Amino acid sequence: MKIFDLEGPFQRYGTIVFDIIVVNLLWILLTFFTFGILSGPATTGAYAALYSGVITSEGYTFKQFFKRFKRRFVQSLLFGIVNAIAVGLSLFNLYMILYKAFGSAWMLPIYLFVLIEISFVFAYVYPLLAHSSLSMRDVLKYSFFIANRHLPTTVLASFLNGIIVGLCLLIFFRRLLSAVHLHVCRSRRHRQHQQLADHQTCTSTV
């Protein structure tokens, strides 16, 4: 068998690389240009397309992507919105506690645990949506079970997902994050100045 034959390794692995590139481009286009709104359906379609085109070599990658994208659109969209809100609130609470804007330090481990558990569960939500016909309730239940049963794989998957989410936040919400950070810093300085002024007032009165 020659390397460059139609059934040779060059053709086979070249096709795999091409399919991966196509799927990632589709995911980027549908996620970035909708400001993350379609990230859920795009992720579901990407899992379905990569499994069918790369692992099982059944069907066309492009076709499988949009087939699952349309079939599980509503569920994926809702999960994507819930995921974004949950992660956003957890990160916001952690940020505010770290900068002592509100909350107590003892709440930090609780919010951190919630963020980690959300990341663990949603690492399996979209693969289950792509490869099953489970209801949303069952998807969450099995995702929680799998995530906590296979922790090493879950940690690795969540780490990679966290990198992607971080890049999305930096690209699309950099100005918003900067504005929030500036507001928190100003509020913190104002509160410190107010406390210092109250302390000086009390000292002068005494």
- The per-residue pLDDT for 108 is 81
DSSP state of 52: I
Length of the chain: 206
C-alpha torsion 62→85→98→113, nearest 10: -80
- Among the residues of the chain, which ranges form H helices? 9-32, 39-50, 61-71, 73-98, 108-131, 136-149, 151-172, 174-205
Q: Residue type for 155, please?
A: V
Nearest to 47 by CA among 28, 27, 17: 27
Whole-angstrom distance, CA of residue 120 vs CA of residue 156: 10
Tens digit of pLDDT at every position of the chain (206 positions): 555 555 656 667 777 788 888 888 888 888 888 878 898 999 999 988 888 777 776 767 888 888 889 999 999 999 999 988 888 888 888 877 776 666 667 778 888 898 889 989 998 999 999 988 899 999 999 999 999 998 898 998 888 877 876 676 666 666 655 665 565 566 666 565 566 665 556 565 55
Rounded distance between C-alpha atoms, residue 173 and residue 83, angstroms: 16
